């Protein structure tokens, strides 16, 4: 759930200043306030994309005292309060990221519950939005298109005054209370059933208001905000943003109507008459703005009758300044601000038999800043890194007798991961020179291989009995890492082919063998070799080797072995 916490934190960096600015700009025009909110919503949608494409910035240095990190402020405890004035009093929207942070750090039992609640809310919110869009499509398919007459002529005239280049469809439905506008590339205005009986003045006012929505792109901005709220529905800041967007868009469109010569009292009279005739009791929710919404009616009428209200459109300098400011905040939220978050990486180290591995060194290296973090697992095999900035890390482990684990890991939230280490591989190196091995003549009169193998098998049985007796003295507990390495019981030397020795053909044969749990060599693949016959001679010898069992926590296990045979001809 840390991803939700991070998304909420980043989004709040952009939306919170925009909401506060819209509340402080009461003396400015509604068009400017709506522009600020709309740009903030669009910037919020770009944060996930920018987070992936922006270069990762180095994390700020953490202070230390006596070799330990100094305490730092937990940003999740910061609280914000936004006060929204309304006709019935002030609405306080106070929220803290601590609740989301707690969800991110919740216990394993609580985390699925929190995730399920969030997913259920998101699916329900998204479903409501899709149902609203589907209902608009369904109503449009059953509505009658108006392509001539008074409505069409006035609409065509006003569309030219708004400089709307795309075609606008006028639709009349049989619904008695539906007056909405939606669409972007092919916008539509849906009129109620009684619209044909309206006067010319009312037709002009209604179309001027609805075409203002189209010219300003209000539907797209509102839909983007609603979609964002459906994902992060638990954030009260998004609910406030959606509400403010809807109110400011209606006020801005009212200002556009008044700017075309309509008197405020005349407009208010028509608006109140529409609110009564559109029968609020039969209205249903659709994903589009409605002109006579009762919840915002009082504030709109008050603004219409206020002769000192600022009704100017948004100037180009104001648009540029607003966009630049919010874009800077967006980049800050997507890049630098993410670096102020610190996460933990925890887990447990196990061996091949799923037993705990205490005393294992675990190292994380930041691939960007090269900062290195190192801990050791405790008596129960657990390890914990704290204060990790989000970044790409190289994970490495080290423990005597075990192979090193090395891989890349991305830390972008509180991460829990268990590590499983395998027993390290053996290393055998032989040098053969002119028929001798490490100074000893390989053609010395050794007993036949069959006799030596029988002797080795007796030694194997003796080793196995001794190991069984030691393990019987105390049953293995939960702590592992107890390795009994193998001992070579039968050693067969490679033979240097005579014709290759005389031809001074030599080189190194590299092999990777597997010693089975019964001590026999199971497989001997050749990695590199200078000559097929030299490779065959080395493989034939290694296949005959016999080892005592390799025990891990009193359990026989297979183990890898690297073998290097050097055939060196005399110069």
Give the Å distances, CA to CA, from 476 to 104, 200, 354, 381.
37, 94, 12, 16
Strand ranges in 412-534 using DSSP code E only, listed in sequence order? 415-416, 419-420, 426-433, 436-437, 440-441, 483-484, 488-490, 507-515, 521-523, 526-528
Summarize pLDDT for 201-213 with one digit per residue, the tens.
999 999 999 999 9
Under 8 Å between Cβ of 179 and 289: no
Give 459 or 330, the one with higher predicted confidence: 330
pLDDT over 50 at 108, yes or no: no
Question: Residue 528 belongs to what H/E stretch?
Answer: strand 526-528
Does residue 6 sit in helix, strand or coil? helix
Other Cβ atoms closer than 10 A to 500: 18
426-568 matches 343-420 in CATH topology:
no
pLDDT of residue 130: 92
Give 334 or 467, the one with higher predicted confidence: 334
Phi and psi of 544, rounded to 5°?
-90, -5
pLDDT of residue 571: 56
Summarize pLDDT for 321-369 with one digit per residue, the tens.
999 999 998 888 776 555 556 789 999 999 988 999 999 999 999 998 8
Identify which of 101, 31, 38 has the alpha carbon closest to the alpha carbon of residue 73: 101
What is the DSSP code (8-state) at residue 309? Answer: -
Q: Are strands 559-568 and 426-433 parallel, antiparallel or unpaired?
A: parallel
Residue 202's Cβ-count burial label (10 Å; 0-12, 13-18, 19+) is: middle
What span, in angstroms and rounded, lies between the C-alpha atoms of 419 and 427?
25
What span, in angstroms and rounded, lies between the C-alpha atoms of 5 and 96?
11
Instruction: Give the number of C-alpha atoms closer than 13 A to the C-alpha of residue 555, restricted to the C-beta side.
Output: 15
Name the CA radius of gyration of the chain, rounded.
39
Give the residue-averaged pLDDT of 481-505: 88
Please state which CATH number belongs to domain 426-568.
Answer: 3.30.2420.10
pLDDT of residue 567: 92
What span, in angstroms and rounded, lies between the C-alpha atoms of 324 and 213?
24
Q: Where are the domains of the chain?
A: 2-56+69-337, 343-420, 426-568
First to last CA, the chain: 69
Please state which CATH number belongs to domain 343-420.
Answer: 2.60.40.10
What span, in angstroms and rounded, lies between the C-alpha atoms of 567 and 40?
73
Tokens 């905040």, located at residue:
329
Give the residue-averaged pLDDT of 270-298: 66
pLDDT over 60 at 90, yes or no: no
Give the residue-averaged pLDDT of 55-65: 42
What is the DSSP code (8-state) at residue 314? Answer: P
CA 522 to chain centre: 44
Least confident of 306-310, 315-319, 437-441: 437-441
Under 8 Å between Cβ of 8 and 235: yes
Q: Bridge partners of 392?
A: 410
pLDDT of residue 468: 66
């Amino acid at each position: 759930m840390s991803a939700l916490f991070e998304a909420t934190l980043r989004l709040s960096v952009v939306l919170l200043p925009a909401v506060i600015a819209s509340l402080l700009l009461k003396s400015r025009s509604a068009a400017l306030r709506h522009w600020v909110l709309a740009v903030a919503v669009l910037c919020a949608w770009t944060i996930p994309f920018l987070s992936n494409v922006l270069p990762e910035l180095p994390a700020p240095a953490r202070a230390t005292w006596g070799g330990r990190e100094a305490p730092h402020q937990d940003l999740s405890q910061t609280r914000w309060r936004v006060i929204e004035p309304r006709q019935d009093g002030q609405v306080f929207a106070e929220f803290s990221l601590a609740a989301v942070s707690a969800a991110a750090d919740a216990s394993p039992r609580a985390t699925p519950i929190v995730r399920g609640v969030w997913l259920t809310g998101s699916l329900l919110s998204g479903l409501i939005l899709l149902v609203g869009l589907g209902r608009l499509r369904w109503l449009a398919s059953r509505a009658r298109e108006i392509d001539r007459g008074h409505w069409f002529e006035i609409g065509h005239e006003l569309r030219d005054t708004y400089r709307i280049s795309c075609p606008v469809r006028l639709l009349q439905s049989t619904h008695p209370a539906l007056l909405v506008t939606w669409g972007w590339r092919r916008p539509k205005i849906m009129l109620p059933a009684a619209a044909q009986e309206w006067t010319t003045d009312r037709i002009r006012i209604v179309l001027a208001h609805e075409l203002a929505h189209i010219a300003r792109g209000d539907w797209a901005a509102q839909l983007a905000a609603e979609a964002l709220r459906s994902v992060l529905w638990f954030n009260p800041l998004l609910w406030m943003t959606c509400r403010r967007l809807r109110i400011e868009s209606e006020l801005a469109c009212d200002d556009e109507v008044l700017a075309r010569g309509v008197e405020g009292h005349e407009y208010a009279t028509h608006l109140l008459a529409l609110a009564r005739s559109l029968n609020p009791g039969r209205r249903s929710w659709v994903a589009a703005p409605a002109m006579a919404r009762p919840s915002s009616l009082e504030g709109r009428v008050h603004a219409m009758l206020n002769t000192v209200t600022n009704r100017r459109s948004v100037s180009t300098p104001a648009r540029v300044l607003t966009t630049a400011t919010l874009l800077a905040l967006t980049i800050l939220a997507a890049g630098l601000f993410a670096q102020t978050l610190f996460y933990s990486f925890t887990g447990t180290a196990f061996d091949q038999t799923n037993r705990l591995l205490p005393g294992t060194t675990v190292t994380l290296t930041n691939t960007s800043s090269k900062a290195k973090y190192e801990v050791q697992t405790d008596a129960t095999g657990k390890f914990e890194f704290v204060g990790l900035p989000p970044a790409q890390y190289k994970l490495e482990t080290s423990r005597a007798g075990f192979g090193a684990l090395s891989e890349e890991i991305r830390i972008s939230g509180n991460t829990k991961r268990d590590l499983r280490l395998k027993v390290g591989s053996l290393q055998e190196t032989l040098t053969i020179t002119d028929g001798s091995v490490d100074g000893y003549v390989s053609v010395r009169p050794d007993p036949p291989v069959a006799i030596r193998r029988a002797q080795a098998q007796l030694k194997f049985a003796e080793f196995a009995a001794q190991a069984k007796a030691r393990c019987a003295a105390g049953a293995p507990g939960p702590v592992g890492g107890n390795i009994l390495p193998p001992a070579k019981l039968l050693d067969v030397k490679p033979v240097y082919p005579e014709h290759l020795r005389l031809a001074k053909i030599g080189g190194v044969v590299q092999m990777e063998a597997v010693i089975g749990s019964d001590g026999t060599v199971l497989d001997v693949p050749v990695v590199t070799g200078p000559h097929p016959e030299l490779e065959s001679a080395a493989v034939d010898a290694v296949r005959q080797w016999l080892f005592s069992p390799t025990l891990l926590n009193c359990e026989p296990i297979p183990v890898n072995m690297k073998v290097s045979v050097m055939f060196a001809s005399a110069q």
